[in-house]
Amino acid sequence: MNLATRRSAARRIGGRDRRGSAVVQAAIVLPFILLFLFGIMEYSRYVMLLQLVNNAAREGCRYAIAHTDPVVIGSTTYTSNDSDVTTKVSNMMGGQALVSQTVSVYESDALGNNVGTWQNAQWGNWITVKVTGNFQSVLQSFLHFGSTIPITAEAVMRAED
């Protein structure tokens, strides 16, 4: 029996050829592997966006505590508007955004409970910036699933004078 005949016989079990079995096995296993990998990537994207939102809320709060009154530097005036804080938060998001994203800025107690407008905060009072929205998974939108994950980030800091 020559080498080619032995290899051909080794491929056959019970008289059937096994050449297509690797394709069938790959067709069965590959979707599960891809779903697992995409799941890892989506979870990583969620954690990244959560970190971005937390950092953006903190930077927006830093801006708010330093700008309870308008500040003039050179010929530029930095105002104390909610839109300025929202712009700061949006800039810190690095081009990412939550679905239905809202930014709230208010004077609060140390626990973050709303007690008034942030522009009236005196030195030593607390200011809170709260960013809320929903995380939309790319995989779910690709598969036409409508579920989202709510995200809320809150930063509470003392106002400066």
pLDDT 10s digits, 98-155: 989 999 999 999 888 888 888 888 888 999 999 999 998 887 766 666 678 899 999 9
Distance of alpha carbon 49 from alpha carbon 59, whole angstroms = 15
The mean pLDDT of the chain is 84
| pLDDT > 90? residue 89 | yes
Instruction: Band the pLDDT of 96: cuts 50, 70, 90.
Output: confident
Find tokens 């239905």 and name the residue.
100
Q: Which residues contact 152 (CB under 8 A, 6 or more apart)?
A: 130, 131, 132
Instruction: Band the pLDDT of 90: cuts 50, 70, 90.
Output: very high
Which amino acid is present at 159?
A: A
Instruction: Band the pLDDT of 10: cuts 50, 70, 90.
Output: low
pTM comes to 0.74
If one compares 105 and 71, the residue with the highest pLDDT of the two is 105
